[in-house]
């Protein structure tokens, strides 16, 4: 009996920090001209909902949808971490022409875009897709292959609105994916999926 209680306490100790500071990566279009007309507003709303849920937002330290989600999170008092493709702040700003505001920490990976994409998706507990182009699709497929929980903001345009068809026609199963056109509902569904996956991990 004492052994069982000890194991139960150990499980609780493992769960607490994981639950409190789960990291949500936002993947989306850096160039937003092809996105839905309200995509920027919804990206900010996604960031706010992530902050309200007490989660950490992780971006590719870039422009567009990740940037606007970071803005929303910071305005709500959340924590935002960026993973840059550049090897230094100087290269981040001068070579890649990327922003530094609305982030608490930016990690300069030096792995360019493809390497940064891998690090971003591997370092988070779940991924949200907002609009997007080919880089967003790259991050989605990494997350899918890694069996990560994924939230798709439908109606935001670009890659996000293609995911259902891609998943269906690829014949690899539905993945751990939730869909919604409403930012609040999407983050609620995603956090529930994260909790479900965590319960399987500690059981």
pLDDT in tens, 6-60: 445 555 544 444 445 899 999 999 999 999 999 999 999 999 999 999 999 999 9
pLDDT tier, 197 (very low <50, low <70, confident <90, very high otherwise): confident
- The reply to whether 98 falls in a domain is yes
- The reply to whether 173 falls in a domain is yes
Maximum pairwise Cα distance, the chain = 62
- The reply to whether 153 falls in a domain is yes
Give the burial class of 168: count Cβ atoms within 10 A of its Cβ; 0-12 exposed, 13-18 middle, 19 or more buried: exposed
Q: What is the CATH number of the domain that holds 38?
A: 3.40.50.450
Give the span between the Cα atoms of 138 and 133, in whole angstroms: 9
Structural domain harbouring 174: 34-202
| pLDDT for position 200 | 77
- The reply to whether 24 falls in a domain is no
Mean pLDDT for 67-75 is 98
| pLDDT for position 7 | 46
- The reply to whether 128 falls in a domain is yes
- The reply to whether 64 falls in a domain is yes
| pLDDT for position 2 | 57
- The reply to whether 144 falls in a domain is yes
* Nearest one of 21, 117, 22, 23 to 61, comparing CA atoms: 117
Q: What DSSP state is assigned to residue 158?
A: G
Rounded to a whole number of angstroms, the distance between the first and last alpha carbons of the chain is 18
Give the span between the Cα atoms of 1 and 190, in whole angstroms: 36
State how many domains the chain has. 1
Tokens describing residue 127: 């991924």
- The reply to whether 63 falls in a domain is yes
Order of strands across the sheet that contains 177-180: 105-108, 79-84, 56-59, 23-28, 126-130, 150-153, 177-180
Mean pLDDT for 108-135 is 97
């Amino acid at each position: 009996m004492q052994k069982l209680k000890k194991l139960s306490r150990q499980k609780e100790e493992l769960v607490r920090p994981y639950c409190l500071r789960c990291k949500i990566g936002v993947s989306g279009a850096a160039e937003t001209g092809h996105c839905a007309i309200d995509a920027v507003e919804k990206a900010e709303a996604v960031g706010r909902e992530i902050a309200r849920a007490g989660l950490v937002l992780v971006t590719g330290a870039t422009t567009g949808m990740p940037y606007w989600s970071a803005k929303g999170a910071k305005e709500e008092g959340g924590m935002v971490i960026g993973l840059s493709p550049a090897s230094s702040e100087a290269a981040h700003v001068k070579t890649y022409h990327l922003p530094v505001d609305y982030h608490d920490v930016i990690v300069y990976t030096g792995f360019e875009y493809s390497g940064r994409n891998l690090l971003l998706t591997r370092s988070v507990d779940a991924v949200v897709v907002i609009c997007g182009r080919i880089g967003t699709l790259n991050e989605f497929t990494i997350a899918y292959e890694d069996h990560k929980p994924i939230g798709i903001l439908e109606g935001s345009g670009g890659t996000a609105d293609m995911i259902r068809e891609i998943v269906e026609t690829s014949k690899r199963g539905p993945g751990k994916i939730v869909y919604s056109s409403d930012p609040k509902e999407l983050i609620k569904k995603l956090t529930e999926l994260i909790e479900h996956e965590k319960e399987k991990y500690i059981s």
